């Protein structure tokens, strides 16, 4: 990695990652919002204030995620992580398996921590800010309260310290998380119902599925998959019935 240099210190990495993540957030949120809302005339009168609140929380999240990325770089330099860069043909199977396993582990972790954050004693202090936008917009995907952002950081840093991962898998996982989170917070249904109601589509979370969560706080806690919502009875019955009608 060109950025990796033993002479670089923590604050160098923090500045670099802060800039990269900040630019990525504003470019992604602004571009997606313009495409889905501004250009199509679907903006709502009350969106400006909530978008400003989302941006404030998102900037703070950027600072924290840049902090985590800097910690990772120092740990990687010190040989404390399980991340590796060499790759042989015989390793391709494990690379593919580890990518899927990380997504499943992250989805499981996210479901249970997300559900925990919705407990009345915690919601007001650690998660309410994320729900200020009703419905959410593309600006909401990074709008996390600091404590919630830290819970996600704990997972990512724990994974790289414990599980052997190719650097490409780590990058692919972070990209997948970002793209999926953006998609979940579009606030509009963009995928045709025929796809979400298919036998494979019912297992994946999209904007329609997550939009229900922002309307009903006690439903739909997952990140990627509907597995835990379906197993533990937190999937909205009306969502399930609509899907069943489309399949019949």
Tens-digit pLDDT profile for residues 142-152: 999 999 999 99
227: pLDDT strictly greater than 80:
yes
pLDDT for residue 198:
59
Q: In angstroms, what CA-CA distances link 93 with 90, 159, 169?
A: 7, 19, 12
- What's the pLDDT tens digit per position in 75-90? 999 999 999 999 888 8
DSSP conformation letters of 195-217:
HHTSTTGGGB--HHHHHHHHHST
Count of C-beta atoms within a 10 Å radius of residue 56: 12
DSSP code, position 24: H
DSSP code, position 194: H
Beta strands in the chain, from DSSP E residues, in sequence order:
83-84, 165-166
Better-predicted residue by pLDDT, 232 or 241: 232
Helix axes 167-184, 10-33, angle to 10 degrees: 40
Name the percent of the chain lying above pLDDT 70: 89
Query: Is there a cis peptide before residue 72, judged by omega within 30 degrees of 0?
Result: no
CA distance 194 to 163: 37
- What's the pLDDT tens digit per position in 183-200? 999 988 776 554 455 566
């Amino acid at each position: 990695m060109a950025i990796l240099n033993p002479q670089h210190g923590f604050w160098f990495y923090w500045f670099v990652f802060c800039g990269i993540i900040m630019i990525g957030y504003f470019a992604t949120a602004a571009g997606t919002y313009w495409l889905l809302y501004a250009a199509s005339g679907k903006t709502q009168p009350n969106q400006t204030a909530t978008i400003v609140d989302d941006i404030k929380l998102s900037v703070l999240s950027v600072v924290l995620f840049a902090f985590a990325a800097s910690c990772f770089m120092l740990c990687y330099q010190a040989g404390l992580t399980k991340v590796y860069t060499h790759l042989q043909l015989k390793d391709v199977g494990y690379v593919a398996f580890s990518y899927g396993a990380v997504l499943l582990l992250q989805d499981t972790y996210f479901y249970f921590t997300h559900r925990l954050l919705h407990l009345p004693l915690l919601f007001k202090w650690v998660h309410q800010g994320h729900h200020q936008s009703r419905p959410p917009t593309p600006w909401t995907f990074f709008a996390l309260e600091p404590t919630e952002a830290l819970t996600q950081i704990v997972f990512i840093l724990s994974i790289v310290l414990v599980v052997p991962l190719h650097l490409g898998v780590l990058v692919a996982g972070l990209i997948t998380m970002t793209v999926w989170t953006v998609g979940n917070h579009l606030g509009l249904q963009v995928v045709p119902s025929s796809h979400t109601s298919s036998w494979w589509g019912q297992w994946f979370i999209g904007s329609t599925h997550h939009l229900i969560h922002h309307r009903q706080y006690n439903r739909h806690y997952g990140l990627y998959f509907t597995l835990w919502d379906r197993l533990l009875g937190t999937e909205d019955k009306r969502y399930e019935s609509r899907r069943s009608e489309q399949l019949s």
